Structure 1
């Protein structure tokens, strides 16, 4: 039987897709995605403080800023590289040019900051996130995505290639309604939704999410707010041990490590 070159090429491409999918899903770090309905619900705060808690637990952690509209992770960095994740997604940078170290006490987090696509004015290839994951996954225990809010392709695509997906919200009606919409869209898209992370809760009583699948809650804490305003995590504050949110993030990290342990490849 004659085998046509086009068929051989198709078979080669299918084999590569399957290999990539296997690598994305099983090897190395757990990739955790944090989408949300609205902006301003605290995604960046949650990502940075959870990363700090994981790093202080001895885990190798990377943060990838995928909020390509209004990136905020760079506010926590002493130095910002000339090239960012946005440049990488535009085929204008290698990942090795982007990495910045963030020190949290005796721990260290690797950060890959972004630049607003409005400022860059280039066409972003969001699908290159697959390459980013394949490059980073063997070197870490956890990779955290800080994402754009809403339901654009820039917000949804990262959830499709993640291992764990938490929708971030605040316990107020507009944020709740938008978070439910995001959850429904993700589930309809075949995404493995792992629960809500509800920020700025009061007295551990959930007003709107009480019947929903909530994985973690972060209490309203003025110390956390002040830490964010000064470009720090709550773990870096002088009297951070008094912070209720610090305890919540430590508990969040412990639960995450137990439920979603990384699969080491080294």
Structure 2
């Protein structure tokens, strides 16, 4: 836990960010009309829709400024200057590169990509398998060096997926190949699994953990997903290649 002095130093930057946020609200509110006429009736400024956000923005700026003032008063200008020098030194990079922060980055990137990138666009079963594969191997191995390598490998894959969807490649490719996004996700899962295996193949303990991770990552989504999809009749967020194959066998479409 941070001591009181470090907390006050953090308050300086928190207050500055809060002030900037309040300023942004004010700038957005100023884009609203202060006066206007409707049906021949002239509206006065104090009934403008901008009044409330202007008030909120001003109050946020005021509170942020008071937070900065209180923090600076407690730590002094010299301590603040020392903090600024620390922010421009190599120590900041070492702090960002620390293991606890790397774990935080991994969790944030993993959950954000799972919720906002994969689930809406990729077959749910593949999204879940990818998420569990990365999540379990990253933390179950309990090795900082492996975590760093796996994180950057996954981050590179996420960037590829983002570029793929931003360029709108899914729709034109879908006219040529069925389920192109799902095929890309399958390749991602395969590449990540192979890369993780290459990193731990010489360690007997980690090989055992790897097998356990793969079993859980693949079995859990299919067991739970099958129950929801076919017994509770709950549609998946995105249904692609895996659901199509499962439907083919579940509904005996091959007999038609």
TM-score by length of 2: 0.20
Higher helix share: 2
| Greater C-alpha Rg | 2
Name the one with the larger strand percent.
1
Answer 1 or 2: higher relative contact order, Cα 8 Å, separation at least 6.
Answer: 1
